[in-house]
Amino acid sequence: KTPFFSGLTAMEKKLAEYKCNTNEAIQLKLVRFPEDLEDDNTTFNPEYSHQVFGDDEVAFGYKGLKILLYYIAGNLSTLFRVEYTSKVNEKFDCVEADDVESKIREIIPPGFCTNTDDFVSLLEKEVNFKPFGVLLHTYSIHNEEAGEDITYQIYKADMTCPGFREYHERLQTFLMWFIETASFIDVDDERWNYFLVFEKYNKDGATLFATVGYMTVYNYYVYPDKTRPRVSQMLILPPFQGEGHGAQMLETVHRYYMSSPTVLDITAEDPSENYVKLRDFVLVKLCQDLLCFSPVKLMQGFSQEMVTEAQQKLKINKQHTRRVYEILRLRATNMGDAEQSRSYRLDVKRRLIGPYKKKQRELAKMRRCLRPEEMTNQLNQIDLSLQREQLEESFQQLVSDYRRVLERLAQA
């Protein structure tokens, strides 16, 4: 038997050489100038590729696999090519290579280029590309590398804008690579709003626009005559991450809806940890000047006045207003003062303990049916000490998140 097994491992070893990590194989670019095509510094890779290539994020059958997905910076016209140094041979190895190309074709819209010359000739027409929709906000950020201020603009678009539907199809392909549970939306539903960020840049004396990121918001109906916009997807493309565009966009979107009397408040669908941090920062920035959040009122505790004012003026819901209150109260509290610090800790823990208490009641109900009385008591004691530990842990984590928000606010 032994020779057979050693043969198998040799074969396995050989086949293992034909496995490629798809997060490394996929090479993305946002191209402004022909020389970007050869410049490795403009390349970036996906964070995720499991939705296209399975949980292992592996493509089988190739050595040196490169999946090139290059986009023109503004209108996102696409170059798609698959390259490799060698491929398994069916006749020889009795195995078939994955059909990488058809997997990618499933998520990118048709009409892409397959050779560089066509792509470069499209690049020359990019000067005609203009952002879609209505301009909502212009801001600039100082760029150390360029040694100058760069201007950005935020637009609100919809499917009636000529060319926007096709552009959005190209744009949404990025979701697959950067949002873990991404899905494409039904663009025929008119309740979607689209917000887009563009960078203005110069090329041969002309002003051009590059896509930076976008957000989709769905307008839910609330009886009898209101809507509740819910942020669905938000993506700042990797070359622009960490520059503050997410905060600019979220604040602009809030301001856009604030002016509408029919909007109740703004929520988010299944927000990521990063989105929650971003939202904390933006909402605290918007709320800090409201009278109901003055230091004196913060020290008196969370109030209905805060809920009402934040909702009416800034379209912020009760749950988010509570977080804003806790963050601003932390700023107003001298944590070195035993009394102030104790009062803050109790206030936050009272909110945190809510879900625990509910769980406790449910457990007690179950146990009454199942166990003798004395046992229930003992178990409750164990639960309580564990609960205190978890509560303290949650509190400490929260305070450190809140402090980061306040640090960012101090620099803003």
Q: List the structure tokens of 235.
A: 């993506």
| Tokens of residue 214, six digits | 């976008």
Q: What is the separation, in whole angstroms, between the first and last Cα of the chain?
A: 71
Report d(CA 230, CA 366) in Å as an integer. Answer: 37
Given the residues 83, 90, 269, 393, select the one marked as catalytic.
269
How far, in Å, CA of 286 to CA of 253, rounded? 12
Burial of residue 405 (number of CB atoms within 10 Å: 0-12, 13-18, 19+): buried
- Cα–Cα dist 76/289, whole Å: 40
Whether 234 and 246 have beta carbons less than 8 Å apart is answered as yes
Q: 378 near 366, Cβ under 8 Å?
A: no
CA 265 to chain CA mean position, Å: 20
Annotation says 269 is catalytic: yes
Other CB atoms within 10 Å distance of the CB of residue 221:
10
Separation CA 81–CA 92 (nearest Å): 26
Written as six digits, the tokens of 389 are 């530990």
Torsion of Cα atoms, 398 then 400 then 406 then 411, to 10° = -150
Q: Look at phi and psi of residue 147 and say left if phi exceeds 0, alpha if psi is from -120 to 50, else beta.
A: left
Q: 3-class DSSP state for residue 197?
A: strand
SS3 of residue 198 by DSSP? strand
Give the active site residues. 269
